[in-house]
């Protein structure tokens, strides 16, 4: 059929009186089985012999129908024809062909094989005009119950999903190409239970006005998929961290196909905000940890092995520690997909730092203890003692027992605290000062020759000799003796410590308050 418009004049009995001469179609008036119409408050399906009654009641009617496999939409209005002294009211039906065609062969052969149901929705009438028989399998409702009933489909949609469905229709109508739009919503089936339907539709336009007049689409039952999705949502809601899926393509594109809601707790950004600008995620990483984090990711991707890393993030000015763990789930030359988990380990790291601090710190002076000193000395040797000199200062208080005996142990503790603080202030940031015994202290001087070490030792000795320790009503003076030993790469760690102790005892034997 090549015509895009049909024009009929009906009398009160629903008989065709005339067909417009400018059409090149045959008389299809006897093929009109029924028409669907809708007004603001009513909708119905009726045959031509009811046109007059319905039009008299409602005025102009908007109509749609399917004639000979073609979808048509139009209107019915009164016209007057004067015959003698009696004016006779007649009705003009104008139908426009709508893009798209529905064939009986397609319905009866192909569609029953599909798990989906296809439909045609008339936008003007808000009525589903045609829907495939599969809808009975999906919803329990037969096509005859659904077709021709204005707003029937909308009434079956869950109240919380109605606005989403209307937005879906609006998006379809605004589209000016063949793009398909989709949405998901809950639908009340024949048994009164809500099922999940995926609705994918494309708009049809009036060929003359180019106005959207209908939608053609398909429906699929996704209840099982949504059940699994809701289970995933429930599990992620109680997960101890953020679950995600990360993709990296060969052209350098990075994206997150999924992020659980915990991303906002960890990074202060929603999943949508990060997906729109993934740089926000990496910018939240602490500057001191970015390079290390990046290298760990690259290493895991190259080796196609699981990724593990601890790093800090800045969330609204607060520093938080995260632990990340992911495994590859799809690896090829073009696309790498990783599934992983990020957990906030700030409390764990805080406890870890506290325990480490307690295990390496002297509780009285706040300096490092013997354990830390020995570990640091070992690291210094392992880190390049063969290339750079290392010096050790062995420091001991002179006649410290007399202070405890004369003033008490509280005064002795105060002397140790004040002298320790003063010595630390007179050392370099690279030096390590530790309390290794009761009144014994040791200093690691990295990259320091023997003469420079003597000078530093003398600086400490002079500082302690001239300081006055005030505690309650007491003003106390004390001196120290310092033993110095240096290694140019030929001495082992143990030998260096022995030499420093020997120098210390030489200083003690020769009168104390000196550097040897």
Q: How far apart are CA 46 and CA 146, in angstroms?
A: 15
State the DSSP H helix or E strand holding residue 344, giving kind and residue range, or none if neither.
strand 335-344
Nearest Cα to Cα of residue 186 among 216, 152, 221, 151: 221
State the DSSP H helix or E strand holding residue 120, giving kind and residue range, or none if neither.
strand 117-122
* Three-state SS at 437: coil
Cβ-contact 483, 458 below 8 angstroms: no
Q: How far apart are CA 256 and CA 226, in angstroms?
A: 21
Say which DSSP state 412 is in: H
Q: How far apart are CA 202 and CA 207, in angstroms?
A: 15
Cβ-contact 243, 258 below 8 angstroms: yes
> Distances from the Cα of 37 to the Cαs of 128, 180, 249, 303, in angstroms?
12, 27, 53, 66
Q: How far apart are CA 7 and CA 31, in angstroms?
A: 14
Q: How far apart are CA 29 and CA 9, in angstroms?
A: 10
Cβ-contact 456, 427 below 8 angstroms: yes
Helix axes of 493-509 and 370-382: crossing angle, nearest 10 degrees: 130
Active site residue 318: no
Q: Which residues contact 345 (CB under 8 A, 6 or more apart)?
A: 310, 321, 322, 323
Q: Which of 160, 170, 224, 439 is catalytic?
A: 439
Q: Which residues contact 176 (CB under 8 A, 6 or more apart)?
A: none
Residues catalogued as catalytic: 439
């Amino acid at each position: 059929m090549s015509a895009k418009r049909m024009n009929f004049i009906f009398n009160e009995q629903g008989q065709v009186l005339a067909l417009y001469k400018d059409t090149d179609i045959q008389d299809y008036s006897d093929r009109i089985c029924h028409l669907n119409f809708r007004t603001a408050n009513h909708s119905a399906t009726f045959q031509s012999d009811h046109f007059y009654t319905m039009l008299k009641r409602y005025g102009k009617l908007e109509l749609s129908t399917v004639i000979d496999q073609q979808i048509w939409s139009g209107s019915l209005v009164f016209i007057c024809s004067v015959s003698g002294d009696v004016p006779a009211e007649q009705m003009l039906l104008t139908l426009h062909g709508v893009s798209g065609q529905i064939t009986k062969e397609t319905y009866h052969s192909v569609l029953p094989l599909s798990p989906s149901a296809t439909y045609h929705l008339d936008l003007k009438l808000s009525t589903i005009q045609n829907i495939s028989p599969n809808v009975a399998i999906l919803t329990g409702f037969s096509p005859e119950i659904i077709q021709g009933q204005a707003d029937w489909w909308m009434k079956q949609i869950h109240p919380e999903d109605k606005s989403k469905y209307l937005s879906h229709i609006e998006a379809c109508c605004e589209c000016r190409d063949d793009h398909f739009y989709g949405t998901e919503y809950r639908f009340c089936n024949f048994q009164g239970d809500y099922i999940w339907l995926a609705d994918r539709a494309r708009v049809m336009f009036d060929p003359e006005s180019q106005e959207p007049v209908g939608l053609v689409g398909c429906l699929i039952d996704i209840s099982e998929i949504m059940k699994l999705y809701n289970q995933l949502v429930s599990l992620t809601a109680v997960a101890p961290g953020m679950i995600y899926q990360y993709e990296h393509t060969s052209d350098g594109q990075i994206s997150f196909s999924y992020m659980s809601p915990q991303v906002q707790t960890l990074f202060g950004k929603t999943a949508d905000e990060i997906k729109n600008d993934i740089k926000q995620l990496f910018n939240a990483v602490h500057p001191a940890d970015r390079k290390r984090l990046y290298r760990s990711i690259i290493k895991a991707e190259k080796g196609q092995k699981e990724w593990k890393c601890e790093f800090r993030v800045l969330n609204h000015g607060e520093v938080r520690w995260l632990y990340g763990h992911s495994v590859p789930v799809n690896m090829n030359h073009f696309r790498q997909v990783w599934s992983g988990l990020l957990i906030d380990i700030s409390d764990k790291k805080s406890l870890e730092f506290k325990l480490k601090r307690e295990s390496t710190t002297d509780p009285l002076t706040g300096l490092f203890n013997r354990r830390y000193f020995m570990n640091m000395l070992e690291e210094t040797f392992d880190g390049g003692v063969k290339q750079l000199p290392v010096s050790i200062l062995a420091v001991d208080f002179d006649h410290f027992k007399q202070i405890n005996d004369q003033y008490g142990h509280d005064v002795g503790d105060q002397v140790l605290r004040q002298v320790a603080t003063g010595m630390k202030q007179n050392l370099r940031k690279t030096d390590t000062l530790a309390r290794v015994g009761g009144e014994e202290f040791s200093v690691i001087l990295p990259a320091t020759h023997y003469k420079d070490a003597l000078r530093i030792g003398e600086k400490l000795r002079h500082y302690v000799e001239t300081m006055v320790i005030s505690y309650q009503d007491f003003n106390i003076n004390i001196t120290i003796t310092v033993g110095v030993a240096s290694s140019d790469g030929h001495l082992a760690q143990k030998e260096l410590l022995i030499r420093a102790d020997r120098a210390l005892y030489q200083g003690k034997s020769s009168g104390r308050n000196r550097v040897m």
